[in-house]
Amino acid sequence: MIHVAVGVIVDDLDRILISRRLQHLHQGGLWEFPGGKLEIGETVESALKRELYEELGIEVIKSNPLLKIEHDYSDKKVLLDVWQVTKFSGKAEGKEGQDCVWVRRGELSNYQFPAANKAILESLCPVTTLERDPR
């Protein structure tokens, strides 16, 4: 099982940052909440800080656990350890060439996410909002 630290990054306008997975990666082309794999001996919180700095150039100041999701894709199993980031410094931008956008909660249904992200989306948006556009 691959343990992944995931950040739901919320700005002062209550928008959420999402990024598009690069095409050559697993689930490439889909949108995601930024983060990455834990390294050996690393805590989830330190992995989250490291990954968000490497991927986006931001420094996490305040974050809280949101939920944990186990998902079994046919080719790999993941444990998403999801944290809500409510305070950070720096300007978020795709440091690895990925697209990044700030979206309102109700707009998340306009983007395609990996199946493992369904529980995150449900926790952030009312079900009626997500049902409007099943993409």
The CATH number of the domain where 25 resides is what? Answer: 3.90.79.10
Classify residue 48 by its DSSP letter.
H
- Cα dist from 1 to 15, 37, 85, 100, 108, whole Å: 31, 11, 24, 27, 27
State which amino acid sits at residue 34.
Answer: P
- Per the structure block, which two tokens stand in for 83? 């944290």
Range of the domain at 81: 2-132
**CA-to-CA distance for 55 and 17, rounded, in angstroms?**
12
Please state the domain count of the chain.
1
Classify residue 21 by its DSSP letter.
P
Over residues 71-128, the pLDDT tens digits come to 888 788 989 999 999 999 999 999 999 999 999 998 999 999 988 888 899 888 765 4
Over residues 9-42, the pLDDT tens digits come to 999 999 999 999 887 766 678 999 999 999 999 9
